[in-house]
Structure 1
Amino acid sequence: MKDYPSALPKLILLGIAGFLLTGCSTIAEKTAAAPKIKNVIMIIGDGMGPQQVGLLLSYARQAPHGVLRNHKTALDRIIENGRIGISLTYPDGALVTDSAASATQLATGKFAKAEMVGLDAEGRPAENIIEKAKRWGKATGLVSDTRITHATPAAFAAHETHRSHETIIPEGLLATDADLMFSGGLDYWLPKAAAEKDSAVHRQLETMTEHAFKIGSARKDDKNLLDTARKQGYRLVFNARQLRQATGKTLGLFAGSGMSDGIMESRNRLNPNHAEPTLAEMSEQALKILERDEQGFFLMIEAGQIDWAGHRNDAGLMLHEMLRFDAMLHKVLDWLGEREDTLLIVTADHETGGFGFSYSGKNIPEPKRLASGHVFKPNFNFGSPDILDKLYAQNLSYQEIFAEFDALPPAQKTAGVLAERVNRHTGFKIDTDEANSLLVTQTNTNKLPGNSTFLVYTKDNREKLLAEILSAKQQVVWASGAHTSTPVFVFTKGNERATEPFANILHHTDIGRLMIDALKPQGAVD
């Protein structure tokens, strides 16, 4: 008994020491297992709802002569060891979002109102992830196949009361000072004199761009924001060759407005000397530049013209836009490999068009005797997979078909000629009577499509009328010519603990906050 008083303190000390050692071990294990995210890559398929993803997957799996290797998409590669969730996209005070509000919510983690860029629901500037990343010492980049002043890229840098302020947005982009910006939209950076072919600035730009595309101006003032960009240390590049030579802080503007559509890119990709870089090439070069920063980086890549195809109800074009997205995503995944220090997030800002394949009571297949001896006699036409090959075979968008038709002499603008043009450029034939119904302008409101309440591009409704005629032959239905409230997918790949929170039912503000938290260095101020 005499020894107890002296032994008890020793036992207590040993117990405390053991607890502390156990505690230290647990803390060390948790710290080692905690995700240390150096880089975040966000990829936005503008307008890419589950329906558009379904089109890509259907093409990969079912097209008899599909071009995708092993019938596999880049999304298949992500999900092999990644995660998938869904996200609601609505903005503050509304059911349906536009790209500006949705991208703002992704970029800031805060609710925004429709058509505002980089502002919270009260109209105050909201610090976006590019600005935060710069403050944390990280490199930053924006890539889009639309134009850099368009709603989605603008929302990751600028702060404007309306997305239409595209001559002001470049100044916001420069103020944010992203390390690289690759897209179209040169016209919004050039003084009004640039539109004059005999002006010095016009001739200078033709030399700088190496005549890669037409020079113009969308401005009504004399500001030359390229000069401002150059003074801020940006290297200016305007074509694919110049892009490949870029190594540091770079502003790449590869078209006067929007870049070429997905069909044109599919064609240009086959030309080794193409002047306009592809979305995959811009993304690949962006990663080569940003990965040099030892502190890490944030990169947003937008496949923006999926949305434009949806607005125009152009199914063939939309397939090519999804294939452009897929080619880009493969390049990103090649770079990513199995890195644990990078979080990849792939989502959409919203769905556009309410697209889908559907069955009908027209052109029901003839009965067919099966090997079993049974007769296969469906009651409906459920659509042949051959349709997917025909969609891919489309070699001009509906918009370009009409542009080609409009460029003809007046005497040639007949229904017969229009039918020939449509039949030449799509895999679905129309007759002269159907073509004649397309020769209508906006004033003929009785000829507008049935869902005309939900049209966006009403200046020329012929594309919608063509879509109605061809959709019946494509087994395609469209709910709208605008955005829908359909929830969108969220694909993530990277450190398991970093991706886990995304495998949930989220809102875009949740994605924004999770992304910011993942990129934030330990001890940094949000």
Structure 2
Amino acid sequence: MNKSLLMLAISAVLITGCNNENITKVKEEAEVIKEKMPKEVAHVKNLILMIGDGMGAQQIGLLEEYARRAPHSIYNGKGNITGLTKFAEAGQLGLSLSAPYGVNGSLVADSACSATQLAIGKASGSEMIGLDRAGDITKTILEKAKAIGKATGLVSDTRMTHATPAAFASHQPHRSHETAIAEQMIEAGSVDVLLSGGARAFLPADISTNSLAINTMEKVGAPAAIYEASKRTDDRNLILEAQDKHGYTLAFDGEQLNKATGTKLLGLFANSGMADGIAYKACKANNSCVQPSLRNMTLKALDVLSKDEDGFFLMVEGGQIDWAGHINDTGWLLHELIKFDEAIDAVYEWVKDRDDTLVIITGDHETGGFGFSYSAHNLPEAQSLSGDGMRGKDYQPKFNFGALSLLDKFYAQTATFKDMLNNVKAKTELANATGQDWADVINPNSAFKVTSEQAAKVALRGNNDYYSAGHRYLGDAQFPVIDDFKAFYVYGDELHGNLIGRALSTEQNVVWGTGTHTAAPLPVYAFGPEKIIKQFSTLQYHVELSQKMMTALLPE
């Protein structure tokens, strides 16, 4: 299979620095896989769409640099090869633009709009779920697959009613209508396997105080952490409705998920979002994880869905990549990328010997404007090199271009900035927190240290220049103080976390451009039959990406 110039260009960037022997083995395996693939097939039986929420080329660069060149990379025992690299070698690479499509659209997408456009293949509007630009309900690729007899599944490490999974199985004017989204997901019956967090949208309003409701949840095996709160305003228990009226098997932890049988499965493993990547690393290390990993949820979904002789559609989201980007937390970001790549690698192993499945891996948008950057801080000292081109002169770059040892320091982080923020809130009012309060929570959890004077900027609060009465995020008169690009930092008290990122950025050789999203083009990895995946190796919009997926999975 000849790769396009785009494929070659992107591959050259991604492969740089990888161990030659290891990448040679991957290339050899890829050639064997490609030879087995049918050349002229126009349709596939199965489609697996994997979305790294907030995952742009910059984020992929962080993962690949860590995997390939961190002195103590956890990928060392795996040949320094990521799951993403395996798909890059065995398939095609392209780029996609995620913006709300069309002349009446906008430049930047949120997750709801972007996922909707991937789901329906038409232009949508900001924060819409399953609606086209005019606000009309439009069948998604998942719903169309179900209509022709295919099995369907949604997997996410955020909440099942969060924007990305919601866009494939519900239709709402705004992404915030999560309780209505939960109702549609259960009542429509279009999704056979639902695995994520977010039980709070499925539970009755009085779940924390109603002893009968609590006893009922205990009887179906739900731990107390699952039903600690509700976002509903009525007495409906959609979890029990799913079991009693719609035939779903229920699961609330990893052990229950492993034992679950049947063709319909509802797994809700947290009241809100599932455990972050740093917490997952910790519990995995001592074998104490209660929640299933994104990898295990993905494998369970594949096991259930692949039993359908007609094939399946599965969407898997690595959703907390976006959350780490919003708070400008590079350490957390790396852990989320690793967690998502675990699932990607599992899918690669599942699919590499098949010729009936299309795999698409992409992001919905880039979050944070993340990047490594060279700086004036800690300038390098002169070195004496033996090369004959030095002509007796020392080697001394004029700027600090970032040491590879930084990569291990990111992986050494033991708490997210969000956790650090919550720890300070638990001790004192944020308005009263001092630089020392912030230093006391940053330094034990980060390999990058701050003084109380440096951390004082994290504590600063001032007037909200963009105050908007009643606004969910901008409705507070006081905001953490952001000195630059402040219009792009919108999430209230969470911005103290972004300020931790600012305080550490110089030592990290990292810059962040925003607390929201950017319109950066997104890599697209395509694996499957040759004729089908060639068309993805180009520059396209997410709307076109969706249309190509529909053509491949659904008959004319």
Q: Same fold (TM over 0.5)?
A: yes
Contact 1:160–1:169 at 8 Å: present in 2 too?
A: yes
Q: How is 1:133-144 mapped onto 2 (pairs within 5 angstroms)?
A: 133-144=145-156
Contact 2:199–2:227 at 8 Å: present in 1 too?
A: no
Larger Rg: 1
Match for 2:157 among 130, 135, 145?
Answer: 145
2:459 pairs with 1:439: yes
Q: Which position in structure 2 is the counterpart of 1:464?
A: 498
Contact 2:197–2:268 at 8 Å: present in 1 too?
A: yes
Match for 2:53 among 46, 55, 58?
Answer: 46
Q: Which position in structure 2 is the counterpart of 1:484?
A: 518
C-alpha separation in 2, matches of 1:96 and 1:409: 37
- Code of the aligned partner of 2:448: F
Deviation of the 1:405 alpha carbon: 2.5
Q: How is 1:323-334 mapped onto 2 (pairs within 5 angstroms)?
A: 323-334=338-349
Contact 2:97–2:542 at 8 Å: present in 1 too?
A: yes
- Code of the aligned partner of 1:491: Y
Aligned pair count reads: 491
Q: Which position in structure 1 is the counterpart of 2:176?
A: 164
C-alpha separation in 1, matches of 2:537 and 2:222: 44
2:91 pairs with 1:57: no
Q: Which position in structure 1 is the counterpart of 2:289?
A: 274
Q: How is 1:161-240 mapped onto 2 (pairs within 5 angstroms)?
A: 161-174=173-186, 175-196=188-209, 199-206=211-218, 208-211=221-224, 213=226, 215-230=228-243, 231-240=245-254
Q: Which position in structure 1 is the counterpart of 2:86?
A: 77
- Greater Cα shift, 414-423 or 207-216: 207-216
Deviation of the 1:206 alpha carbon: 4.3
Deviation of the 1:214 alpha carbon: 5.6
Deviation of the 1:273 alpha carbon: 4.1
Q: How is 1:263-412 mapped onto 2 (pairs within 5 angstroms)?
A: 263-372=278-387, 374-408=393-427
C-alpha separation in 1, matches of 2:155 and 2:480: 41
C-alpha offsets along residues 157-197 of structure 1, whole Å, 9 cap, x if unaligned? 1000000001100112121431100000000001111022x
Q: Which position in structure 2 is the counterpart of 1:429?
A: 449
C-alpha separation in 2, matches of 1:519 and 1:126: 17
C-alpha separation in 2, matches of 1:446 and 1:323: 30
C-alpha separation in 1, matches of 2:443 and 2:293: 28
| Helix, strand or coil at the partner of 1:345 | strand
- Greater Cα shift, 427-436 or 37-46: 427-436
- Code of the aligned partner of 1:42: L
- Greater Cα shift, 431-440 or 294-303: 431-440
C-alpha offsets along residues 23-67 of structure 1, whole Å, 9 cap, x if unaligned? xxxxxxxx9932441100000000001110111111112211111
Deviation of the 1:440 alpha carbon: 3.0
C-alpha separation in 1, matches of 2:200 and 2:462: 28
C-alpha separation in 2, matches of 1:319 and 1:409: 30
Q: How is 1:250-261 mapped onto 2 (pairs within 5 angstroms)?
A: 250-261=265-276
Q: Which position in structure 2 is the counterpart of 1:21?
A: none
Contact 1:44–1:301 at 8 Å: present in 2 too?
A: yes
- Code of the aligned partner of 1:262: G
C-alpha separation in 2, matches of 1:113 and 1:397: 32
| Helix, strand or coil at the partner of 1:369 | coil
Contact 2:59–2:370 at 8 Å: present in 1 too?
A: yes
The root-mean-square deviation of aligned C-alpha atoms, in Å, is 1.9
C-alpha separation in 2, matches of 1:65 and 1:186: 38
2:427 pairs with 1:415: no
| Helix, strand or coil at the partner of 2:178 | coil
Contact 1:167–1:188 at 8 Å: present in 2 too?
A: yes
- Code of the aligned partner of 2:88: I
| Helix, strand or coil at the partner of 1:228 | helix
C-alpha separation in 1, matches of 2:300 and 2:462: 43
- Code of the aligned partner of 1:489: P
C-alpha separation in 1, matches of 2:144 and 2:286: 40
Contact 2:418–2:494 at 8 Å: present in 1 too?
A: no
Deviation of the 1:267 alpha carbon: 1.5
Deviation of the 1:456 alpha carbon: 3.3
Deviation of the 1:211 alpha carbon: 4.0
Deviation of the 1:480 alpha carbon: 0.8
Contact 1:311–1:456 at 8 Å: present in 2 too?
A: no
Match for 2:554 among 500, 520, 523?
Answer: 520
State TM-score, norm by structure 2: 0.85
| Helix, strand or coil at the partner of 2:169 | coil
Deviation of the 1:449 alpha carbon: 3.8
Deviation of the 1:445 alpha carbon: 5.4
State TM-score, norm by structure 1: 0.90
Contact 1:206–1:215 at 8 Å: present in 2 too?
A: no
Deviation of the 1:199 alpha carbon: 2.4
Deviation of the 1:435 alpha carbon: 2.3
C-alpha separation in 1, matches of 2:483 and 2:347: 40
- Greater Cα shift, 42-51 or 213-222: 213-222
- Code of the aligned partner of 1:354: G
Gaps of 5+ in 2: 1-37, 464-477
| Helix, strand or coil at the partner of 1:396 | coil
Identity over aligned pairs, percent? 44
C-alpha separation in 1, matches of 2:347 and 2:133: 33
